[in-house]
Amino acid sequence: MAELLKGIAASDGVAIAKAYLLVEPDLSFSEKTVEDSEGEIARLEQALAVATKEIEAIREKAAASLGEEEAQVFDAHLMVLADPEMIGAIESNIRDNKVNAEAGLKSVTDMFVGMFEAMEDNPYMQERAADIKDVTKRVLSHLLGVKLPNPSMIDEEVVVIAHDLTPSDTAQLDRRFVKAFVTNIGGRTSHSAIMARSLEIPAIVGTKSITDSVKEGDMLAVNGIEGEVIVHPTDEQIEIVKNAGEKFAALKAEWDKLKDAETVTADGKHFELAANIGTPKDLEGVHNNGAEAIGLYRTEFLYMDSADFPTEDDQYEAYKAVLEGMDGKPVVVRTMDIGGDKELPYLTLPEEMNPFLGYRALRISLVEDDMFRTQLRALLRASVHGKLRIMFPMVATLPEFRQAKAMLEEEKTKLLADGVAVSDDIQVGIMIEIPAAAVIADKFAKEVDFFSVGTNDLIQYTMAADRMNERVSYLYQPYNPSILRLLKFVIDSAHAEGKWAGMCGEMAGDQTAVPLLMGLGLDEFSMSATSILKTRSLMKRLDSTKMAELADKAINECDTADEVVRLVEEYTK
């Protein structure tokens, strides 16, 4: 029987394919007394052999797609599987205590993990503990005959189903095979959703219960435009979803014609349409979608894609590639924003009750002096290859900005003294994503070169509604007059000091918000590259004076977000 589930439409497009469950399998078992110890040891050996083959295959695939360095983690796993001391201890345990292979394996590996984890200030041992845990899971899955999901090995067309996807899970998805993904939790501005849009993988998040409704291999019809997924669709439903996909493709073909067009309104006003990127590899999408600039380069992905802190030279190469790739067009590079939903395996951060309110972004950079200065030096060195703008994330107070800027100046002075060329035309700005900064934007405007509003965070902090939590997603209201008032103040404050104001939060590409933002006088709109052409198409048919009137009315006459939406509809008909 067909079943329809609704969620949050996170990335446009449709897909019809079988389900691939990316969920933690049940690896529970009970300890049993077994007389035939040799039989259990044979089972263990068989499981070890299959696990070894599997990891070798994964390693090969990782080396080909991600590079040799990334693949090395699997060598450590293979070493665990072949470790005579540990395997010997497991076999003795099975023999001496007459336990089943599962229990014999788990108690010995738990002991090793406990021992290594206790060596708290030894990162090498911490990593070994993590390797043993991973390998134990794989061997147990073979003993129990349970499948362990592995997204990097998907080699047929599927829809990935998960409780949640981390940004690094999402980065591993191969878009040739992963036709869509659907999750239980998450919001439109979670980083997996943002990545899905730049990878052009249709996605639905926040369905609450997709993992309960779908079994491995079930047929699914996903409509990422509407945020609907049908489990076991009928032929007729498949036809409807396919038609929606075709309609969307036709619209896209229309937008594509604007790739080389200027971004001008019906009355001839120009706005800058920029793209958000996470890696130099995203440049292809930037060019294919006719971006006029890069408004946000999320450099934390450089850190997340690496097995250790990226060196100054590695970073320099990445920044240079982006600056050169943009051929003189502006590139806003944001310094590292780790924390929240973005983790670094090699930077252990304390468990926090509220990671989005915690130790993240510039707060980390100002403490981790070496890490931050390495990034600043790489940026300064790269500055001669294009039009660089440096941006600090999560600034709450002026002293934070001043400290970061002073560190940048110090590194610049040192480089120049060493005879290294640095551009003398680097703008330095901040993200406005904390309400405290927004309400004193007039003061910040005197010291920065530009603002870029990070609405993904600004909205969650203003409404006190976690951007990742689908239960409070109704409060995530970009069009609420409270948000619009904050934005007006930020944009007006920038202009009063002769500075520019951009936006790199997802709101900048939201088709209901764009008319309001045009009316508020936002200068630069930075978004997933895949939203640029539809925004250019929308701007072309709107009149900027009329949009100013719309924004004014929305702020002064509307009480609720719904009223604002109705007003926008009236003005853009």
Residues binding Mg ion (CB under 5 A): 433, 454, 457
Separation of alpha carbons 293 and 386, rounded Å: 11
Q: Which is nearer to Mg ion, 140 or 362 (CB)?
A: 362
Could you say whether residue 391 binds ligand PEP (CB under 6 A)?
no
Q: Tell me the one-letter amino acid at 206.
A: G
Residue 384, judged by CB atoms within 10 A of its CB (0-12, 13-18, 19+), counts as middle
Burial 149-182 (b: 16+ CB within 10 A, else e): bebeebeeebbbbbebbbbbbbbbbeeebbbbbb
Give the residue among 169, 115, 96, 109 at the shortest CA–CA distance from 143: 109
Q: Residue with structure tokens 């002991």?
A: 111
Could you say whether residue 466 binds ligand PEP (CB under 6 A)?
no
Residues from 429 through 448 that contact ligand PEP (CB under 6 A): 433
Query: Do residues 73 and 307 lie in contact, with contact meaning Cβ atoms separated by under 8 Å?
Result: yes
Could you say whether residue 455 binds ligand PEP (CB under 6 A)?
yes
Q: Tell me whether residue 191 is one of the annotated catalytic residues.
A: yes
Q: CA-based Rg of the chain, rounded to a whole angstrom?
A: 26
Separation of alpha carbons 546 and 30, rounded Å: 70
Query: Do residues 453 and 487 lie in contact, with contact meaning Cβ atoms separated by under 8 Å?
Result: yes
How many CA atoms within 13 Å lie on the side-chain side of 528? 24
The least CB distance from residue 294 to ligand PEP, in Å, is 13
Letters for 300-339 (x = contact with ligand PEP by CB under 6 A, - = none) are -------------------------------------x--
Could you say whether residue 298 binds ligand PEP (CB under 6 A)?
yes
The partner in contact with residue 455, picked from ligand PEP, Mg ion, none with C-beta cut-offs of 5 to 8 angstroms by kind, is: ligand PEP
Q: What share of the chain is helix, strand, coil (3-state, %, to 5)?
A: 55, 15, 30
Stretch of residues binding ligand PEP (CB under 6 A), selected from 174-182, 196-204, 252-260, 455-463: 455-463
The least CB distance from residue 457 to Mg ion, in Å, is 4
Alpha-helical regions (H) of 384-531? 398-417, 435-439, 441-445, 455-463, 481-496, 513-520
Choosing from 186, 187, 435, 505, the residue that interacts with ligand PEP (CB under 6 A) is 505
Query: Which of the residues 77, 191, 385, 558 is marked catalytic?
Result: 191
Q: Which is nearer to ligand PEP, 408 or 527 (CB)?
A: 527
Q: Sort strands 219-223 and 14-21 into parallel, antiparallel or unpaired.
A: antiparallel
Separation of alpha carbons 569 and 453, rounded Å: 24
Q: Tell me whether residue 163 is one of the annotated catalytic residues.
A: no
Could you say whether residue 528 binds ligand PEP (CB under 6 A)?
no
Query: Do residues 128 and 116 lie in contact, with contact meaning Cβ atoms separated by under 8 Å?
Result: yes
- Which single residue brings its beta carbon nearest to Mg ion? 457
Binding site listing for Mg(2+): 433, 457
The least CB distance from residue 457 to ligand PEP, in Å, is 3
Binding site listing: 298, 334, 433, 456-457, 467
Could you say whether residue 524 binds ligand PEP (CB under 6 A)?
no
The partner in contact with residue 228, picked from ligand PEP, Mg ion, none with C-beta cut-offs of 5 to 8 angstroms by kind, is: none
Q: Which is nearer to ligand PEP, 213 or 365 (CB)?
A: 365
Query: Which of the residues 77, 385, 504, 558 is marked catalytic?
Result: 504
Count of residues near ligand PEP by CB under 6 A: 10
Choosing from 220, 258, 504, 547, the residue that interacts with ligand PEP (CB under 6 A) is 504
The least CB distance from residue 190 to ligand PEP, in Å, is 9
The partner in contact with residue 167, picked from Mg ion, ligand PEP, none with C-beta cut-offs of 5 to 8 angstroms by kind, is: none
The least CB distance from residue 508 to ligand PEP, in Å, is 9
Give the residue among 505, 481, 492 at the shortest CA–CA distance from 439: 492
Stretch of residues binding ligand PEP (CB under 6 A), selected from 71-79, 175-183, 250-258, 453-461: 453-461
The least CB distance from residue 95 to ligand PEP, in Å, is 54
Separation of alpha carbons 133 and 117, rounded Å: 11
The least CB distance from residue 389 to Mg ion, in Å, is 17
CA distances from 489 to 79, 389, 476, 535, 564 (A): 59, 23, 20, 24, 18
Letters for 334-373 (x = contact with ligand PEP by CB under 6 A, - = none) are ---x------------------------------------
Q: Which is nearer to ligand PEP, 265 or 462 (CB)?
A: 462
Choosing from 282, 400, 449, 457, the residue that interacts with ligand PEP (CB under 6 A) is 457
Binding site listing for phosphoenolpyruvate: 298, 334, 456-457, 467
Stretch of residues binding ligand PEP (CB under 6 A), selected from 147-155, 346-354, 450-458, 514-522: 450-458
Residue 491, judged by CB atoms within 10 A of its CB (0-12, 13-18, 19+), counts as buried
Strand order in the sheet with 158-162: 3-6, 228-231, 219-223, 14-21, 158-162, 178-183, 203-205, 8-11
The CA angle 68-69-73, to the nearest 5 degrees, is 105
The partner in contact with residue 504, picked from Mg ion, ligand PEP, none with C-beta cut-offs of 5 to 8 angstroms by kind, is: ligand PEP
Q: Which is nearer to ligand PEP, 139 or 504 (CB)?
A: 504
Stretch of residues binding ligand PEP (CB under 6 A), selected from 136-144, 222-230, 231-239, 454-462: 454-462
Residues from 217 through 236 that contact ligand PEP (CB under 6 A): none
Separation of alpha carbons 278 and 195, rounded Å: 8
Residue 396, judged by CB atoms within 10 A of its CB (0-12, 13-18, 19+), counts as middle
How would DSSP label each residue in 365-378?
HTTSHHHHHHHHHH
Could you say whether residue 456 binds ligand PEP (CB under 6 A)?
yes
Q: Which is nearer to Mg ion, 40 or 433 (CB)?
A: 433
The least CB distance from residue 192 to ligand PEP, in Å, is 11
The least CB distance from residue 312 to Mg ion, in Å, is 25
User: Across-strand partners of 293?
Assistant: 274
Binding site for ligand PEP (CB under 6 A): 296, 298, 337, 433, 454-457, 504-505
> Which are the catalytic amino acids?
191, 504
